Amino acid sequence: MSKIVSDPTPQLPPKQKGVARLIAATKFSIAGLTAAWKFEEAFRLEVIAFCVLAPLGIWLGHSRVEQVLLVGCLFFVLMMELVNSAIEAVVNRAGLEYHELAGRAKDIGSAAVFVALTLVPFVWGMLLL
């Protein structure tokens, strides 16, 4: 006779709808931001830079459009850092041994952050100089 093995996959609650779904999604998002702050030094540094530069961008922007562009590119950096951190976490979960595709995924995620970071001086320079 064979043993019956239970499925180790955790069971998710039934799909939530409406406001309950929005509340659950918000909790997951806050957990993600908390994890990024706790485990990702680059994210912490970029948040600090955001806290300094965002008020400056609002002050220096002559119109609402300029203010949105100056601050928006800063948000874009944070978004790309979160995506990069998520990619790195998934790759590390799959295994810590070197694999060409894992390295490529991490490098491409890092490149996304780099492109976002280069957007900041471009936008700020074009609007303020």
Q: Which positions are annotated as active-site residues?
A: 81
Taking the mean position of all CA atoms in its chain, how far away is CA 63?
A: 28
Task: Residue count of the chain, please give it.
Answer: 129
Q: State the greatest distance between any 2 C-alpha atoms of the chain, in Å, as a whole number.
A: 78
Which structure tokens are listed for 70?
Answer: 């100056």
Contact 76, 119 (CB under 8 A): yes
Contact 82, 36 (CB under 8 A): yes
- The span from the CA of 87 to the CA of 106, in Å, is 7
Contact 123, 70 (CB under 8 A): yes
